[in-house]
Chains A and B, each alone.
Chain A
């Protein structure tokens, strides 16, 4: 290899997708490069011109324009272009202009094709439609918890005893078999949805579980005789998990239900017992075990001491390669854990509630996708028997206890005052129903801006059916409320993503430059906003953005592949944001949502560009799908022309 090709090679090797190529392939490319200088202002490629090379910017900068004349992209040193044209008709789709004096390296099409054939990473990168998907999938595959199935951790059959077995006999069995629990089963006459066929060919039913802990708390502590049948002290209707669920799901299930033993079933057949320690052995994600700790703290002050551990656990999960869904769900589980424990402590201090209530979370916590710097958004739904005179003080005290406690645990007070401490958001169910009906019946975009957060809601503690009743009401009425959907759609377009990055700057759609980007405001938030509109339109009761996208994909409300593309965009944006926040914590800074382009790598830039594009497309589609009758503000030009013609 000639020395000047070494210089070319050294430059290529710093930038995606060349950075991942083998030395041989890199040599092959560097050895084939041809060079040409272009003056600022000159057109490098014109529309429909045949193209026979991949263009690589060695120095300088170029701009690409869409057919409409709108700026499509601005590229600088180390960027490539022309690849999608090379992959498709070998004709130029977007014209390219030099905005600075620019030196271009050409990779001949034959070499480009050859590299695409032999290097999957390279070909996936240049296949713009697919590259975000591939990256997200790679991230997912990297984390074992999400893909490992529970059955892999099961090493032995469960011990099963009948309900009339004595406690002593059960204990002896546990000693002999060296297990920490037994399952309690009973023979049944007939086959039912809860029965399974035992090895003896008869029908059995799983009725309960008895653990070594139960021997302490329910047998010895209660003074039960060793001759007592296990059926009397077992936990009936045990929490179970299917064998093909992920280890991660099993872990969440244990934490959610505060159990350490989880019977694993194949359909209805018990296959084994999963113990918390099995998972710990499998993979140590101590952040999640923090939830255990939450439930043994007895004062808000004690709870607040755990918040440092939350941050450390978060950083560890990021370092361990967990994906955004796992991290967000872990943070949601932790956040709900804090809330739930605070409510238990409040009830212990204030006494039992005078009327039933449900404490609900809103916004990102309800969607199970909070970030490490999430504010608290919550409200109280009270039974309709609530009397402000009699019960007002109790619930005000309860709300104050919880919200102050949460603030102490690192969940900042909501700036918009969407908290249970606000009397407006501490109301009986009937009032809440009126709120939602009014929002949907008389939508006003300005007012909806502040209330859209209420359309992501989930119960945390108390009578869950009260919040479920609100979810049902929304799912039933929203699809029929065209004005409401149109207003929501209009708001969902208030925050737009940027075009991409250029050198040290964020590139706006109009070509303006910015120093940093708020990944929440310009990325994840517009995406969750637009997904919410579609989800409400199709009557989905899901709150989580991924779950909503599943529901949307099933309805054909959006074009084929759109939901999938948005899913990858969301996963990627969330992950960049999470990594950025973990980095801030590691450097002793306060995590925020603002990302400096100087800290965004060349590969990440390409992916972010794809994600922004997916959001931008989806936002435009909103205008077509949900029109505001009469006002025409969100109508397309075509629709307006149609109107004047008729």
Chain B
């Protein structure tokens, strides 16, 4: 990998994190957040606090102009007040848009102290709470990147095709709100972020640098949230998939809930619309979160990680890496009941 990709390194706290969950990730990728907490606590022996009273950061509402700035600031302040109450200073928001929102609010407070004072006043009026601004805000992908070599020591598998012995070819996609708002808040900055590339390299894989690497995943908030714009959303995803296709990637990994969602689900949509898939065999390109990627290599059960919830199914990837799985347990619920398998799509093989 080119040295410029990892030239810029941001500050990432070493321990004692306050974790903030995402509104949508627990639905889209139900095992990812749990896997992150498990890795921090069990693999790395780190202290991370997960408060059940947490709530939205308003990110989607904020970026679609539904929630006014003053409200977002106050909501963010309440989340920080939970961190303050528990004596933490290092804030780790699960969602990349939350990460962008928190970073942006802190920046605005720094540049405009009167807004900070107003926010403190609003929070106190609303719920009699007070807060400190975190000393360090890191996205969980930053934290995993920070400990990528320590985790590599504990991993049972590597990103290597066991049939050929060659590194798996991995497309990494970084959420816009990770470094495009404040380039210095992202590892490697905005144009060539290294946060996921660093994990892929440390764990034996090969990063695919394809022409539309920096293009939008297709979510783009309004492109999807306004129903009439969804064709635009699919078109953008299609542009990326077409661009990466010649490189024959083994899978895609992303650090943003929206990106992972749309790069995965729109493969089904495009297959239905155009009978087109972007792998040779017609199964599509699997899309993982970075926690799923790390969890799989650490030997966590693929179904506990929630891979069965994805649109593009991961068994062929698991076979390439040599990760065992129980096909019968794929749709087993927590209470042991076997759930009905979902309907199979017509044009995307599963």
* A and B part of one assembly: no
Q: Which residues of B contact A (CB under 8 A)?
A: none
> Footprint of B on A, CB under 8 Å?
none
